[in-house]
A = this chain, B = another copy of it.
Amino acid sequence: MIDAARLQARIESLGAIGALPGGGVCRLALTPADKAGRDWLIAQMESLGLAVAIDPIGNIFGTRPARPGTTADAPHVMIGSHIDTVATGGLYDGALGVLAGLEVVAALNDAGTETDLPVTVAAFTNEEGARFAPDMLGSLVFVGGLSLEEALEIRGIDGTRLGDELAAIGHAGTGAGPSAIAAYVELHIEQGPILEDEGLQIGVVEGVQGISWTEVTFSGASAHAGTTPLRLRADAGLAAGRTACGVRDIITAIGPGQLGTVGAVTLSPNLVNVVAERAVMTVDLRNPDDAALIEAEAALATLIAAAAAEANVTATTRSLARFDPVDFAPELVDAVEAEAQALGLTTRRMFSGAGHDAQMIARIAPATMIFVPSQKGISHNIREYTPPEDLARGTAVLHALIARLSTP
């Protein structure tokens, strides 16, 4: 029913927008490359006959109406994900969920299928969180978890204001997404190694682990590297180093399930012979178990205080994102498993390590996800890859599930 080649062609067309010289893409949220991707997506939606709406945070919704005579307030079945990427992203993270949604619509169109409920394909703004924190920002605003006003004031890693960047690309819309959602399903690459390691085709996603992002700023004093005795230093670079090491030690202490990453560190003035006066760094902690995540956060606070004390600097912290672990709707999880097995595919239940828009939609509607394998588990890297057959398998499960959900 679904056309794997057509799906693959759309993946490659979108992947050409913001393409990096060595492969992969950079479509950081609300940049000109993101705008080009969005404009391309809207044109694709329109060519499939979808009614397009953009909401004030820039989420894009393309809706295929239900059969004639259906009441206007019928809840929608929604397929969604995002098309923004990290700076060193691949072609599949996010894009797959949106483009598989278009393929499901195309297959319904081809078959002349009329559904009882409208089907909406959504692309949410700034899911990655790589330019503006928090991640899953567009879907968070959509579900009312963050006010539009607050979101528009958020500053990006480049100092820009989200509202200005959204307006500059012309995607601050006046439309709205569906007011009622019967079910939400997101197809995504696993972004981890488990399915490939175990030789399985479909991940049945039961939930998403908790995410805690902290920005730490250490403030000391710049000083001469050749003349300043240790006792007179207030070395922000040392505090940052101790924190980076300590995060790894926290993971080891808390044990399996705990992840921690220091992905960003910026020193000032960042010169070879000047003790750093300022260090700004991020810490990403994740755990599927909220109690363990809270324990890791407490250990991080202790670590930061000890690093600041040793280095004779002050520390301030700011939460960039904090999302509890989420369990998806059991009946939808069961339905993914049933549809996949009915198609003769091998499956495994699993938790998601990455954050996803589905975890936000889960606050207001039954939601779940479908995973397909990621080669070598590589993601947030230009070498992210999933073969066309796997994309097609996941899209076939999505199609079968949406067909059933939209005509209950």
Contacts and interface: CB of A to CB of B under 8 A. Distances in A.
A337 interface: no
A317 interface: no
B272 A213 contact: yes
Q: Is the interface of A mostly helix, strand, loop or mixed?
A: loop
A88 interface: yes
Interface in A357-385: 376-383
Interface of A: 86-88, 128-130, 133, 135, 157, 190-193, 209, 211, 213, 221-230, 232, 235, 237-238, 240-245, 248, 251, 259, 261-267, 269-277, 282, 284, 286, 320, 352-355, 376-383
Contact of A241 (B129, B135, B244, B273): B244
A267 B267 contact: no
B277 A229 contact: no
Contacts of A86: 222, 269, 271, 273-274
Given A244-B237, A273-B130, A221 B261 contact: no
In this complex, the member of A190, A223, A224, A377 whose beta carbon has the largest number of chain B beta carbons within 10 angstroms is: A224
Across the A-B interface, the 5 shortest Cβ-Cβ residue pairs: A241-B244, A227-B353, A192-B227, A225-B261, A272-B282
A229 B192 contact: yes
A127 to B, nearest CB: 11
A225 B128 CA distance: 11
A248 B245 CA distance: 13
Contacts of A267: 263-265
B378 A226 contact: no
Nearest to A261: B225
A45 B248 CA distance: 57
Contacts of A129: 272-273
Contact of A211 (B211, B226, B248, B377): B226
A263 B272 contact: yes
Given A191-B227, A277-B88, A262 B237 contact: yes
Contacts of A272: 129-130, 133, 213, 263-264, 282, 284, 320
Contact of A130 (B274, B277, B379): B274
Nearest to A279: B265
10 contacts: A86-B274, A191-B224, A209-B226, A225-B263, A227-B354, A227-B379, A237-B244, A237-B261, A237-B263, A263-B272
Contacts of A262: 237-238, 241, 276
Nearest to A190: B227
Contact of A251 (B230, B244, B286): B230
A215 to B, nearest CB: 8
A223 B130 contact: no
A361 to B, nearest CB: 18
Contact of A226 (B242, B265, B353): B353
Contacts of A259: 225-226, 228-230
A251 B262 CA distance: 25
A225 B157 contact: no
Contacts of A222: 86, 88, 380-382
Contacts of A271: 86-87, 130, 157, 263-264
Contacts of A269: 86-88
B277 A263 contact: no
Nearest to A256: B229
Given A191-B226, A235-B261, 11 more contacts: A130-B272, A135-B273, A223-B378, A229-B377, A230-B259, A237-B244, A238-B244, A241-B243, A241-B262, A272-B282, A272-B284
